[in-house]
Amino acid sequence: MKEENITTTDIISDENLVYKKTDLMTDKTLSYCPGCGHGTAHRIIMEVVEEMDMTEDTIGIAPVGCSVLAYEFMNIDMQQAAHGRAPALATGIKRTWPDKMIFTYQGDGDLAAIGTAETIHACNRGENFLIVFINNGIYGMTGGQMAPTTLPGMKSSTSPYGRDVKLMGNPLKITELVAELPGTYYVTRQAVHTPANVRKTKRAIKTAFKNQMENKGGLNFVEIVSNCNSGWKMSPVDANNWMVENMFPFYPLGDIKLDGEKVNKE
Amino acid sequence: MAKVKGAIVIDVDKCKGCEVCVEACPTDVIGMADEVNIKGYHFAEVKNPEDCIGCANCAIVCPDGVITVYRKKVKA
């Protein structure tokens, strides 16, 4: 048997294309640090929107934080909300246009700190939209200050000796909190640091959009545990490893609420 | 048995050199360049093109979406 002599240039042609960045991401260079999970999260949301053929019917809401410029990168209709008010804005848009697919994209400072009231009340009212929550345990944009989601003992620029729980309080597991509310329909926690996790997260986002499309009566909440290598002062690969070792035990991955019922972990 | 061969194209000027793709590659195809790109990052480059199987793992984890993947079946 003789192996065909195939060179790289023979393989690189449109008929052999397996994967390329979706056209729903603009060609602008992302404003994120090298290795930041935001870029991957943006891209998989846009891939889901493309695959479900709802480009014209989707409206995204950008937060305040690192991803404030999300509307520059996602090539769909977008709004930019005041700090933490994305769920309130999403409520307004969804009630005005019930047929549109609405999602908010928020970080932990936006969703779990200044926007806690909006988040909890939107979840409790059971608004029919999707919240994508990026949790990296730090205020990334303003220089790595301690956030509500910062782990106990974790160093940040405002907790240089590590978060002292007695003095600074406990980290907030807002995803578990909203899962307790009767208004949420689907609550899950995922990550985007490995190919397998990216695929799982994409499936979760697809499920959430399907629930919204079928008007299952409840809010869909997808948390993505992510890294902040600049804020954590690590290289991107080290930050991902640190996240697996430290973030995941505190923020375990998996579905928390499926079809309106809490998942029994035991 | 049919074999697959892959190839990747990296948009070097958009690469930020985070090395996440290097970790994700199961066949150690990708390495970091010694030179830097227009932004001053050591960009990712194909070191062992022969080993690429076109699994697209690198492209899926790339935060900046700079990798395009091709795959072709090769008769052996």
- Structural domains in chain A plus CATH codes: 32-261 (3.40.50.970)
Tell me which residue in A3, A21, A192 faces B65 most closely, judged by beta carbons: A21
What is the ipTM, given to two decimal places? 0.92
In chain B, whose CA is at the least distance from the CA of A235?
A: B18
Residues 9-48 of A with CB under 8 A from B: 10-13, 16-22, 25, 29-30, 32-40, 43
In angstroms and rounded to an integer, the radius of gyration of the C-alpha atoms of chain A is 19
* CA-only gyration radius of chain B, Å: 13
Distance CA B8, CA B11 (A): 10
Element (H, E) at A72: helix A70-73
Greatest C-alpha distance within chain B: 44
SS3 label, residue B10: strand
Distances (CA, A) of A162 to A136, A140, A141, A249: 16, 17, 20, 17
- B32: which 2 tokens? 């970091």
pLDDT by 10s per residue, chain A, length 266: 445 567 778 888 888 999 999 999 999 999 999 999 999 999 999 999 999 999 999 999 999 999 999 999 999 999 999 999 999 999 999 999 999 999 999 999 999 999 999 999 999 999 999 999 999 999 999 999 999 999 999 999 999 999 999 999 999 999 999 999 999 999 999 999 999 999 999 999 999 999 999 998 899 999 999 999 999 999 999 999 999 999 999 999 999 999 988 987 76
Name every residue whose Cβ is closer than 8 Å to that of residue A202 and which is 6 or more positions away in sequence. A44, A47, A48
Best of A5, A6, A8 to disrupt the B interface by mutation (most B CBs within 10 Å)? A8
Thinking of the domain B3-74, which architecture would CATH place it in?
2-Layer Sandwich (3.30)
Q: B31 CB near a chain A CB, below 8 Å?
A: no
- Please state the pTM of the whole predicted model: 0.93
